[in-house]
Structure 1
Amino acid sequence: MCGIAGLFDIRGKRDFDRTLMQQMNDIQYHRGPDEGDLYLEPGVALGHRRLSIIDLASGQQPLFNEDGSVAVVFNGEIYNYQELVPELESLGHVFHTRSDTEVIVHAWEAWGEDCVQRFRGMFAFGLWDRNHQCFFMARDRLGVKPLHYAILDDGTLVFGSELKVLMQHPGLDRSIDPHAVEEYFALGYVAEPRTIFKGARKLQPAESLCIRRGQPVPAPKVYWDVRFSLDNPLSLEEASLELTERLRESVRLRMISEVPLGAFLSGGVDSSAVVATMAGLSNEPVNTCSIAFDDPAFNESAFAKMVADRYHTNHHVETVKSDDFDLIDTLAALYDEPYADSSAIPTYRVCQLARKHVTVALSGDGGDESMGGYRRYRMHMMEEKMRAAMPHGVRKPVFGLLGRMYPKADWAPRVFRAKTTFQALARDSVQAYFHSVSILRDEMRASLFSTDFQRKLGGYNAIEVFRRHADAAQTDDPLALIQYIDTKTYLVGDINTKVDRASMAHSLEVREPLMDHKLVEWLGSLPSGLKIKGQEGKYVFKKAMEPLLPNDVLYRPKMGFSVPLARWFRGPLKQRVRDAVLGDTLAATGIFNRSYLQHLVDAHQSGARDYSASLWTILMFEAFLRNTGIVASGSLATEAVG
């Protein structure tokens, strides 16, 4: 795993400042502490930080083709590179390393922009072709690896693995994008292709961008998409057997390494399935790492131990104290823009633990989206049946009225919490799903934002992110639609972002067998009835894993990787929350309605309401402002709402 950075003069061949390029590269030292190098020529500057995984002796970057006319900086792994080498050699290309990176330059020479179609893996790279005077960037299909870029007013393209790389450039417009703020407070992250800054973008998953010097910059090109065709005629038994074999292939590819390798083991279905599969492919015990919590309500370590004992793994466990909240500012610095998933705390800790024992770790991320694992999917499907029974023109006024009149009762048993259900039934499918996953829902954001900031939003609502992807989904199946939306939004903006930054903070490479694009394509062909059956999510996956895992692991309630925010904010973090939410930093932005901030703090700390998720989201926004130094510049209020 690595960090990449670079500059490209779109208009001419200016010489770039080597000191600036060095700063851009050094700011991401954590992504690649083994080696770092720069390459500069008129109009081009490339930087790379290396975490050595494959071809330790000769895989240094930037890496060039035979005559030095093509150069690449690359972050990730091309898992099928060994298959591509003989094919490229047969076309006359000569390899000088055993690195998967070299496959990229020769694949570009052979197939041009279509080279990305041939790669199986996780990747983000920037490639300079001097003969064709073009710069090419691409990101992997599921967005496992990040790629940020900006086109500056002077015609400079600046790019990097993390937003902090771009922030080193004095020409970057760091004014805050109001639409990004709206997305953040709805979703807990800024959705691709936006960043928190007006001047920077994220290349979206499965996008490439080819910029030719002296020509207008085109829009990024989409080179792949997942299709939920749901037309595979396999029986449950046939699908289970094939799923097992496809998982074995995906795991086998991700076990190629010249450094110590292991796996995260949470005790959930996905990570347990990955570990069980690894054990079947390895002659040596698998290295596994788990985090235990001293609060039983959040502790899954006993289930992880069941799997570790069954497969005789080298199992490493560390206990995280339930008051492990010292990472707030650390996380803000890691993520560069507001990021509100509190499970980043235990994720950071398990990466920290894993790096003590391995350099590469396999994870179970991605299984919920492809196989229907989230509890919210089952709730949505039940609501969809009710929505289908009544036209929207009837549902909207009837259930809308009930939703407004029915009291909110977070404290009551779930059966009596009808307000949210009524609100969901009054909406169409996309509105309802967006409502169900929003951290601060529409009415809360309307109260949170100041009148001036709402005017600057110009009516923009973060649901437009979901609408855009729903329009591209090419399915009217209720489950497939929300799986597609999550694959494009939550998986990328939340899960992959969380794991990339947390792992790279510790110079750890994380690989994701359940996000192999061939596996994801095949899972998209399976009928939704094989994914959710009654109240059981991941139905076919659990059936496939029954010979390999204990029933207690497969069929227990899903816990998630969470922390006790509600208790923290009424206890040890009580004053910190009050100071941050009601302090000068947020007040200076002009974004917020202070009376509503006061309500959130008072109602939560009195025990009247559980606003812990909302308060954490606000707390992390405040930490982002302080850590980026925007507040100190004195220009935030103008930037934020201008």
Structure 2
Amino acid sequence: MCGITGLFDTRGARNFERATLQRMNEAQHHRGPDGGDLHLEPGVGLGHRRLSIIDLATGQQPLFNEDGSVVIVFNGEIYNYQELVPELQALGHVFRTHSDTEVIVHAWESWGSACVQRLRGMFAFALWDRNQQTFFMARDRLGVKPMHYALLDDGTLVFGSELKTLLAHGGLRRDIDPLAVEEYFALGYVAEPRCIFRQARKLPAGHMLLLRRGQPLAEPQQYWDLRFTLDRKIGLQDACAELDARVHESVRLRMIADVPLGAFLSGGVDSSAVVSHMAELSQGPVNTCSMAFADPAFNEAEFARMVADRYRTNHFVDMVDSDDFGLVDTLAAMYDEPYADSSAVPTYRVCQLARTHVKVALSGDGGDEAFGGYRRYRMHMMEERMRSALPLALRRPLFGTLGRLYPKADWAPQVLRAKTTFEGMSRTAAQAYFHSMARLRQPLRDRLFTGALKRELGGYSALEVFERHARRAGTDDPLALVQYIDLKTWLIDDINAKVDRASMEHGLEVREPLMDHELVEWAATLPSSLKVSAGEGKHVFKKALEPRLPHDVLYRPKMGFSVPLARWFRGPLRQRLRESLLGGAMADTGWFDVRLMGRLVDQHESGAHDHSTALWTLLMFDAFLRNVVGEGSSPAAPAPAQALAEA
């Protein structure tokens, strides 16, 4: 696990300054505190910061092939590298190290860009092949590891694990893309391939980028996608047995390390499942780390303790104060882009705790997306059954009108809150799911954004992100469709980004067994009835775990990794909120209605409404402006709205 960065001259073979590359590399020192090195040759510069996990003695990067004509910088872990070594040796390759990095170099020599198809793991890498005058970048299938890049005005391609390495170059313009602002306020993150800065991009998950010296910048090419076939003929009992075996194998592969290893244990189903398999595979007690919250409404510590006691783990618990809100500026600088998931606070803390005991931690991330665990999936399926009873041409005018006329009644009993139901009935599946996922829904964004920002947007809506993925999903199954959308958006841009930045900030490697692409592909063949059954999400997963975990862990209501935002904004963050939203950076953009933000703050403080989600989203955007954009920068007009809508 590491940080990578570099430069490539797309027009020729200029000599890059070592000081520039060194500055870019040191900007992500936290990702690799164990060492770092650079490689420079005409037209190419590669930088690497190392977090030593495997082959501590000889795995330094940049790493070369036998004759030095191919050089790579790599971030991640290839879990099947030991299986590939003898195959590559049979093709004539000579290995000088015991690292998974060298496997990629020789795989490139033998198979070219098709090498990515052979790699099982999490990865982002860039390599230069001098003989072929080819620069190649790739990112893993589910976007566990990040990759940012930008083509500068002078033809230099800059890239790095984090956006801050591109900013450290000095040639990247800090013009904010208004389309990214729309995506952020709708989703809580900027969806790939877009970045908050117009000139930068994220290499999408499951994509590669191949450039030849002197040729125009090519578009990224997709090498992997997930297909929900739902066609496996299998009963529940057999599915449980195969699922258990597949998870066991995935966990085993991720326990290969030359440094202390442990696991996050939240007390939820997914992390508990991972720990149960680790305990079977480990010769000694597993190290587990949990966060306890002073507020009992957010505390899952007792369930984590149940699992820790059952498997006799070395269990470490840290108490997060209910008022642990001092990370606002830290998080803004850490993520480089506006990022609004408040669970970043406890995630930061659990990574901080884990690093004091281990250098590698396994997590349970990805289980909900793969096996249908979110409550919102069940709600969407219920709404889809209602929508399927009438054609869209009839539903849209009928229920659209009812939705506009029916009063909003959050105070009323659930049975009387029909406005949202009517609105949902008037939408397509993708529109309805986008509405349910939106942090600030369209009516509020319409009121928040000034005319100046709306003109910049040119009619663009973040809904296009969901609709683009829905068109490519290849399924109209209600559950599979929203799983696919989540796997392309929420999982990559929210969950994986959150865990990557928080863990690497502390020099901790996190591995996700439930995101193994072979496991996810297998899960996509299972009928949706095995995932959601009788109103229970993750049905087959929980059934497979019944011999392993207590009933109270498997079948209790899902709590999530939350913080008490509503109370913070009525108490200790009250003054900070007013200062941030009603003056300074937010107001200076001219993009946001300051009077509306004032009303949101007043209504929340009085208790009339809970605007905590919207207020946190606004607060984190202000923190981004102050900590990342900085003084003297201002928004600039975007490219045409259609430019990335079809990407």
TM-score, normalised via structure 1 length: 0.99
User: What amino acid is the match of 1:515?
Assistant: M
CA–CA separation in structure 2 for the residues paired with 1:637 and 1:125: 31
Residue 26 of structure 1 and its aligned partner are, at CA, apart by: 0.3
SS at match of 1:228: coil
Contact 1:530–1:539, Cα closer than 8 Å, also in 2: yes
SS at match of 1:167: helix
Residue 412 of structure 1 and its aligned partner are, at CA, apart by: 4.0
SS at match of 1:49: strand
Contact 1:378–1:532, Cα closer than 8 Å, also in 2: yes
1:124-135 residue pairs with structure 2 within 5 A?
A: 124-135=124-135
User: What amino acid is the match of 1:598?
Assistant: G
SS at match of 1:436: helix
1:332-343 residue pairs with structure 2 within 5 A?
A: 332-343=332-343
CA–CA separation in structure 2 for the residues paired with 1:473 and 1:19: 45
User: What amino acid is the match of 1:86?
Assistant: P
Q: Can you list the C-alpha shifts for 1:149-185, whole angstroms capped at 9, x where unaligned? A: 0011211110000000000122212100010000000
CA–CA separation in structure 2 for the residues paired with 1:605 and 1:409: 20
CA–CA separation in structure 1 for the residues paired with 2:406 and 2:505: 46
CA–CA separation in structure 1 for the residues paired with 2:94 and 2:451: 63
CA–CA separation in structure 2 for the residues paired with 1:200 and 1:326: 29
1:389-404 residue pairs with structure 2 within 5 A?
A: 389-404=389-404
Q: Unaligned stretches of 5+ in structure 1? A: none
Q: Can you list the C-alpha shifts for 1:169-205, whole angstroms capped at 9, x where unaligned? A: 2221210001000000000000000000000000000
User: What amino acid is the match of 1:264?
Assistant: F
Contact 1:542–1:554, Cα closer than 8 Å, also in 2: yes
Contact 1:591–1:640, Cα closer than 8 Å, also in 2: no
Contact 1:590–1:641, Cα closer than 8 Å, also in 2: no
1:384-533 residue pairs with structure 2 within 5 A?
A: 384-533=384-533
Contact 2:176–2:636, Cα closer than 8 Å, also in 1: no
Residue 639 of structure 1 and its aligned partner are, at CA, apart by: 5.8
CA–CA separation in structure 2 for the residues paired with 1:470 and 1:464: 10
Q: What is the match of residue 541 of structure 1?
A: 541
Question: Structure 1 residues 638, 484: closer, same or farther in 2, change over 3 A?
Answer: closer
Residue 422 of structure 1 and its aligned partner are, at CA, apart by: 1.7
Contact 1:290–1:304, Cα closer than 8 Å, also in 2: yes
Q: Can you list the C-alpha shifts for 1:287-306, whole angstroms capped at 9, x where unaligned? A: 00000000000000000000
Q: What is the match of residue 56 of structure 1?
A: 56
Q: What is the match of residue 69 of structure 2?
A: 69
CA–CA separation in structure 1 for the residues paired with 2:575 and 2:217: 49
Question: Structure 1 residues 414, 316: closer, same or farther in 2, change over 3 A?
Answer: farther
Residue 416 of structure 1 and its aligned partner are, at CA, apart by: 3.4
Contact 2:473–2:481, Cα closer than 8 Å, also in 1: yes
SS at match of 2:168: coil
CA–CA separation in structure 2 for the residues paired with 1:578 and 1:410: 25
Contact 2:177–2:636, Cα closer than 8 Å, also in 1: no
Q: Can you list the C-alpha shifts for 1:463-502, whole angstroms capped at 9, x where unaligned? A: 0001111111000101100000000000000000000000
Contact 1:453–1:641, Cα closer than 8 Å, also in 2: no
Q: What is the match of residue 256 of structure 1?
A: 256
- Residue 137 of structure 2 is aligned to residue 175 of structure 1: no
CA–CA separation in structure 2 for the residues paired with 1:417 and 1:72: 57
CA–CA separation in structure 2 for the residues paired with 1:135 and 1:450: 43
Identity in percent: 70
Residue 408 of structure 1 and its aligned partner are, at CA, apart by: 2.4
User: What amino acid is the match of 1:131?
Assistant: N
TM-score, normalised via structure 2 length: 0.98
Q: What is the match of residue 359 of structure 2?
A: 359
Contact 1:336–1:624, Cα closer than 8 Å, also in 2: yes
Contact 1:266–1:301, Cα closer than 8 Å, also in 2: yes
SS at match of 1:208: strand
Question: Structure 1 residues 552, 579: closer, same or farther in 2, change over 3 A?
Answer: same
User: 485-494 or 416-425, which moves further after superposition?
Assistant: 416-425
Contact 1:590–1:637, Cα closer than 8 Å, also in 2: no
Q: What is the match of residue 600 of structure 1?
A: 600
Residue 584 of structure 1 and its aligned partner are, at CA, apart by: 1.9
Q: What is the match of residue 210 of structure 2?
A: 210
SS at match of 2:88: helix
Contact 1:410–1:610, Cα closer than 8 Å, also in 2: no
Residue 227 of structure 1 and its aligned partner are, at CA, apart by: 0.6
CA–CA separation in structure 2 for the residues paired with 1:638 and 1:159: 22
Q: Can you list the C-alpha shifts for 1:205-224, whole angstroms capped at 9, x where unaligned? A: 00000000011222111001
Aligned length: 640
1:614-629 residue pairs with structure 2 within 5 A?
A: 614-629=614-629
SS at match of 2:71: strand
CA–CA separation in structure 1 for the residues paired with 2:23 and 2:327: 25
User: What amino acid is the match of 1:627?
Assistant: N
CA–CA separation in structure 1 for the residues paired with 2:629 and 2:158: 21
Q: Displaced runs of 4+ in structure 1, greater than 6 A? A: none
Q: What is the match of residue 81 of structure 1?
A: 81
CA–CA separation in structure 2 for the residues paired with 1:421 and 1:342: 27
User: What amino acid is the match of 1:147?
Assistant: M
Q: What is the match of residue 577 of structure 2?
A: 577
Residue 413 of structure 1 and its aligned partner are, at CA, apart by: 4.2
CA–CA separation in structure 1 for the residues paired with 2:624 and 2:382: 38
- Residue 625 of structure 2 is aligned to residue 636 of structure 1: no
CA–CA separation in structure 1 for the residues paired with 2:409 and 2:248: 46
CA–CA separation in structure 1 for the residues paired with 2:49 and 2:387: 52
1:1-400 residue pairs with structure 2 within 5 A?
A: 1-400=1-400
CA–CA separation in structure 1 for the residues paired with 2:260 and 2:30: 18
User: What amino acid is the match of 1:278?
Assistant: M
Residue 239 of structure 1 and its aligned partner are, at CA, apart by: 0.3
Contact 2:176–2:635, Cα closer than 8 Å, also in 1: no
CA–CA separation in structure 2 for the residues paired with 1:403 and 1:596: 23
Contact 2:581–2:619, Cα closer than 8 Å, also in 1: yes
CA–CA separation in structure 2 for the residues paired with 1:339 and 1:94: 45
Contact 1:178–1:640, Cα closer than 8 Å, also in 2: yes
Residue 410 of structure 1 and its aligned partner are, at CA, apart by: 3.1
SS at match of 1:150: strand
Q: What is the match of residue 643 of structure 2?
A: none
Q: Can you list the C-alpha shifts for 1:562-586, whole angstroms capped at 9, x where unaligned? A: 0000111011111111111111211
Contact 2:175–2:635, Cα closer than 8 Å, also in 1: no
Q: Can you list the C-alpha shifts for 1:597-625, whole angstroms capped at 9, x where unaligned? A: 12211111111111100000000000000
Please, what is the CA RMSD of the aligned residues?
1.1
CA–CA separation in structure 1 for the residues paired with 2:116 and 2:477: 30
Contact 2:174–2:629, Cα closer than 8 Å, also in 1: no
Question: Structure 1 residues 500, 414: closer, same or farther in 2, change over 3 A?
Answer: farther
CA–CA separation in structure 2 for the residues paired with 1:232 and 1:629: 50
User: What amino acid is the match of 1:436?
Assistant: S
CA–CA separation in structure 1 for the residues paired with 2:93 and 2:512: 30
CA–CA separation in structure 1 for the residues paired with 2:430 and 2:162: 31
Residue 641 of structure 1 and its aligned partner are, at CA, apart by: 11
CA–CA separation in structure 1 for the residues paired with 2:519 and 2:417: 38
